[in-house]
Amino acid sequence: MALKLIIGNKNYSSWSMRPWIAMKAAGIPFEEIVVSLDAADFKQRVGAVSGPGKVPVLIDGDVQVWESLAILEYLAEQFPAAGLWPADPAARAHARTVAHEMHAGFLPLRRHLPMNMARPVIRRALTPEAAANVRRIEALWADCRARHGGGGLFLFGRFGAADAMYAPVVARLNTYDVEVAAATRGYMDAVIALPAWAEWRAAAVKEPWVLANDEVDWPTVHRV
């Protein structure tokens, strides 16, 4: 039975993007089901398979897994050849640590710069709290690359779960034209160059839904 991944709007749902891009990049086949975050029956449809009634949700037969990071862990167990976590124990521990830091943190940045894949690149000034988040993320990425990224373009060499967790951050920094170091930009460019990224974005810009809470220029809606 094929895996099913229930996700929200590709334009806005950062948590949905994480397992989706990991599965696409790793070549793990799945069926996607998109439910708009503002759909009248969202809670009814998603709540039937997700305890909190939130996306994303991975369905594998009788197994139902929600929360992006839990989905990534489940996939790593089911598809070890995909290499979602580094093989080296020290690197793997580091990758899990930074992935959990993303899962639990950076709320000022996430609130101030909501993911909006269809918005053209237009700079938005950062709050001090969001700027502090950006500095921490840049330091974190640089440390991962310096310690474990020598074999490739990504945080731990090849694209993996840690990169998937930060992919929406790459989108945010790019969309809102956040000033970053050259090394940070290089990593962002590597993520943006992924075929999986292009596929997600192409679908995102075609979506008809507009969510006012995620449009920082509201009531103006900028579109590429």
Element (H, E) at 24: helix 14-26
Q: What is the pLDDT of residue 48?
A: 85
Q: What is the pLDDT of residues 62-108, one digit of tens each?
A: 999 999 999 999 999 999 999 999 999 999 999 999 999 999 999 99
- 3-class secondary structure, 5: strand
89-104 helix and 128-148 helix, angle to the nearest 10 degrees: 170
pTM: 0.95
Domain 3-82 class in CATH:
alpha beta
CB atoms within 10 A of CB 67: 20
Q: In this structure, which topology does domain 89-201 adopt according to CATH?
A: Glutathione S-transferase Yfyf (Class Pi); Chain A, domain 2 (1.20.1050)
Q: What is the pLDDT of residues 42-55, one digit of tens each?
A: 988 988 888 888 99
CA distance 32 to 39: 17
Q: What is the pLDDT of residue 150?
A: 85
Q: Check: CB of residue 54 under 8 Å from CB of residue 66.
A: yes
Element (H, E) at 43: helix 42-47
Domain boundaries, the chain: 3-82, 89-201
Report DSSP letters for 131-200, one per residue: HHHHHHHHHHHHHHHHHH-TTSSBTTBS--HHHHHHHHHHHHHHHTT----HHHHHHHHHHHTSHHHHHH
Q: What is the pLDDT of residues 119-155, one digit of tens each?
A: 999 999 999 999 999 999 999 999 999 999 888 999 9
Q: What is the pLDDT of residue 151?
A: 81
CA distance 102 to 116: 18
